[in-house]
């Protein structure tokens, strides 16, 4: 390890400006890669249109559609239940009321547990 001239006990400093410059470059590169990977391409998800309050448990004495509509009216956001995974839906949610409590194809970009909806359609019936 190098020593400062004139002081043999004090170690020489590493060129910290170069080190931090490299760390910053790596950080920026990783951030750009992560954000581009998270953006994702639109995909189609098929599941049951529900809300974050209902999930797959609806109020007794109500149909699934009525329960979902009531929960949305009370402020709960729409959600899509795909298997056992619940995605919160945002974006173009105007067509979701027609599929309340029913199966739908939701197209959009997903990020973690959210889908930014671009379109909603009825699932294709098996031929």
pTM for this predicted structure: 0.67
CA distances (Å), 33 to each of 7, 21, 108, in order?
A: 45, 19, 21
Dihedrals φ, ψ of 25, to 5°? Answer: -60, -45
- Domain presence at residue 127: no
- Domain presence at residue 25: yes
Q: Are residues 10 and 71 in the same domain?
A: no
**What's the pLDDT score for residue 93?**
87
CA distances (Å), 23 to each of 26, 33, 117, 121, in order?
A: 5, 15, 37, 47
Question: Structural domain tally of the chain?
Answer: 2
**What's the pLDDT score for residue 115?**
94
Q: Are residues 53 and 27 in the same domain?
A: no
Q: 68: which 2 tokens? A: 């979902």
Q: Are residues 49 and 95 in the same domain?
A: yes
Q: Are residues 30 and 66 in the same domain?
A: no
Contacts of 95 (CB under 8 A, 6+ apart): 119, 120
Q: Are residues 54 and 23 in the same domain?
A: no
Per-residue pLDDT of the chain (127 residues; tens, 9 = 90+): 555 555 556 555 555 555 767 667 777 766 655 655 555 789 999 999 999 988 777 778 889 899 999 999 999 999 999 999 999 999 988 889 999 999 999 999 998 899 999 999 998 876 5
Domain containing 8 equals: 3-39
């Amino acid at each position: 390890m190098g020593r400062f001239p004139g002081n043999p006990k004090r170690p020489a400093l590493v060129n910290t400006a170069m080190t931090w410059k490299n760390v910053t470059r790596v950080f920026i590169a990783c951030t750009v890669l992560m954000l581009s990977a998270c953006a994702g391409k639109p995909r189609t998800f098929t599941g049951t249109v529900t809300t974050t309050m209902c999930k797959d448990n609806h109020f007794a004495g109500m149909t699934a559609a009525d329960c979902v509509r009531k929960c949305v009216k009370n402020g709960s956001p729409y959600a899509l239940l795909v298997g056992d995974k619940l995605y919160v839906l945002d974006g173009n949610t105007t067509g979701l009321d027609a599929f309340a409590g029913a199966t739908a194809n939701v197209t959009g970009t997903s990020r973690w547990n959210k889908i930014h909806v671009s379109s909603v359609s009825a699932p294709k019936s098996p031929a």
